[in-house]
Amino acid sequence: MKKEYWIILIVYIAMQFSGIIGMPLLVRGLKIDRVMALPIWLIISFTLALIIILFILRKDSHARGPKGTGQGSSIGHSIIWAVSGFFLALFSQYAAAIIEQLLGIHMGSENTQQILNIIDIFPLAMIVTSIIGPILEEIVFRKIIFGSLYRRFNFIISALISSVIFALAHMEPEHIILYSAMGLTFAFLYVKTNRIIVPIFAHVMMNTLVVLVQTVYRDDIERLQRDLESIQNFIGGFL
């Protein structure tokens, strides 16, 4: 792995733990309410990390594809796969959710719920969850981690390892199937088009849709989840 990539990984990890310093700075130093300080620091840390990472990658812009070389797909072909990839990601997420249901895994996501709570407090935080976050994740987990593995192993091994790491990074091991399915989809889009912008677009669109739907129809979704869990428990009583 190139030195620049290691630096990017360090920046990304530092961003994840930056709240340890950033939160007290906002709360005690700038006297910002703790509830508001969280989304504000989220925006600051993610934005700074993205700027730093893009600056580091400025010399790497000529390298296309997970193997670092090769011509990327045409603009038209990339657009088609970006849009198709959005629906493919939704389908893989839906299929993974069904599998988790069959395994008796609770449908709800604490990570998603926390994100929605942050957006309720500070709607501007949606920029992070819908745009900046997905861009950073695709650069880190697909371009760097998957790309580095793909230069040594085949697609299946590289995609599986990077997708599991991607899943575990979301701190919800019970939903490892769900996140891994998404990771596999984005890795496929990256290899298929040789352009990291394609999985970035699909990821951004998917996160934006999920956040909007969860925000607008949250009560209905929670009611549906309770009904589905009741049906699952009822059926389980006969098995």
Euclidean distance between the first and final Cα of the chain, in Å?
50
- Give the separation between CA 175 and CA 118, rounded to whole angstroms: 21
Domain's final residue, options 29, 62, 95 = 62
The model's pLDDT over 18-71, given as tens digits with 9 standing for 90+, comes to 999 989 989 888 888 888 888 999 999 999 999 999 999 987 765 567 766 667
Is the domain of 52 the same as that of 79?
Answer: no
Is the domain of 98 the same as that of 205?
Answer: yes
In a domain, 16, yes or no: yes
Is the domain of 194 the same as that of 220?
Answer: yes
Is the domain of 237 the same as that of 131?
Answer: yes
Instruction: Quote the pTM value.
Output: 0.84
* Count of structural domains, the chain: 2
In a domain, 77, yes or no: yes
Q: What is the pLDDT of residue 117?
A: 82
Is the domain of 23 the same as that of 108?
Answer: no
Say yes or no to pLDDT of 196 above 70: yes
Output the average pLDDT for the chain.
Answer: 84
- Give the separation between CA 49 and CA 108, rounded to whole angstroms: 29
Is the domain of 117 the same as that of 173?
Answer: yes
In a domain, 112, yes or no: yes
- Give the separation between CA 76 and CA 24, rounded to whole angstroms: 48
In a domain, 199, yes or no: yes
The structure tokens listed for 162 are 């990077």
Say yes or no to pLDDT of 116 above 90: no
Q: What is the pLDDT of residue 69?
A: 63
Is the domain of 43 the same as that of 88?
Answer: no
Domain's final residue, options 62, 94, 109 = 62
- Give the separation between CA 41 and CA 21, rounded to whole angstroms: 10
> H helices of the chain, where?
3-17, 19-24, 34-56, 75-102, 110-121, 126-127, 133-137, 147-150, 155-168, 176-193, 197-216, 218-236
In a domain, 194, yes or no: yes
The structure tokens listed for 148 are 């580095």
Domain's final residue, options 12, 40, 62 = 62
**Host domain of residue 221:** 73-239
Whether the Cβ atoms of residue 200 and residue 141 lie closer than 8 Å to each other: no
In a domain, 129, yes or no: yes
The model's pLDDT over 74-105, given as tens digits with 9 standing for 90+, comes to 888 899 999 999 999 999 988 998 898 888 87
Is the domain of 201 the same as that of 107?
Answer: yes
In a domain, 67, yes or no: no
Is the domain of 108 the same as that of 161?
Answer: yes
Query: Which residues are marked as active site?
Result: 137, 170
Q: Which of 5-9, 71-75, 78-82, 174-178 has the lowest mean pLDDT?
A: 71-75
Is the domain of 222 the same as that of 183?
Answer: yes
Residue 81 CB neighbour total at 10 angstroms? 22
Q: Is 122 left (phi over 0), alpha (psi -120 to 50) or beta?
A: beta
Is the domain of 126 the same as that of 236?
Answer: yes
In a domain, 68, yes or no: no
Is the domain of 28 the same as that of 127?
Answer: no
